[in-house]
Chain A
Amino acid sequence: NAGVTQTPKFRILKIGQSMTLQCAQDMNHNYMYWYRQDPGMGLKLIYYSVGAGITDKGEVPNGYNVSRSTTEDFPLRLELAAPSQTSVYFCASSTTGGSAEAFFGQGTRLTVV
């Protein structure tokens, strides 16, 4: 059972480049999330989705875009990379809100130089 899979694990981008962080889950979860973790900080919510075709902004959405065309996939797009986007990115999924905990992927470490 793969759970939540993120690719790539590491990436170095130059300022102004763009890239897509991939996230896929095989648990048939409706809810999916993108978080970023900066050193010494907790996880900050970037975007989330409550189902295919539905996305919404979290706490720190600027500089990012998402789409949710299927239940399984929730890619995160960086259009013009900036040094402030250097971080570790985590994708997560969960079942209906309630008491269901979120399952996290292994993370993508992104460095923008």
Chain B
Amino acid sequence: DQQVKQNSPSLSVQEGRISILNCDYTNSMFDYFLWYKKYPAEGPTFLISISSIKDKNEDGRFTVFLNKSAKHLSLHIVPSQPGDSAVYFCAARALNDYKLSFGAGTTVTVRA
């Protein structure tokens, strides 16, 4: 059973515009959420995270928003750059658990 869902397999955005990636989860025990970025032939790399006690976390061009009541989070990339073209995975973890549950990923393509 997929506990973390990324319903958009792909996203195409023009350079300089905003990219919005969405993620939904079903497990109410999840309390920590992460986004990973993955280039072809490389392993995923950590991008940004958010704890359930917050509703927003910002790091440079990347902002993650969390809506606990809707069990929904989103990643905003502003402005989008060609180097942002990659697969983005949403992941979640329950309190005191170290195992991550991953979504299927969203492939972002930034057009020049």
Contact = CB atoms under 8 A, between A and B. Distances in A.
Contacts of B42: 106-107
Interface stretch (B14-22, B67-75, B76-84, B101-109): B101-109
Interface stretch (A14-22, A41-49, A79-87): A41-49
Given A106-B41, A107-B41, A48 B99 contact: yes
Contacts of B51: 99
A71 interface: no
B65 interface: no
Interface string B31-53: 01010100001111110010100
B105 A42 contact: yes
Interface string A82-113: 00000000101010110101111111000000
A101 B96 contact: no
Majority secondary structure, B binding face = loop
A99 B32 contact: yes
Contacts of B99: 33, 45, 48, 58
Contact of B43 (A42, A44, A106): A106
A94 B97 CA distance: 12
Contacts of B97: 97
Given A99-B49, A101-B49, A42 B4 contact: yes
B30 interface: no
B44 A90 contact: yes
A106 B42 CA distance: 5
A31 B98 contact: yes
Contacts of A94: 98
Interface in A31-74: 31, 33, 35, 40-45, 48, 50, 58
B104 A41 contact: yes
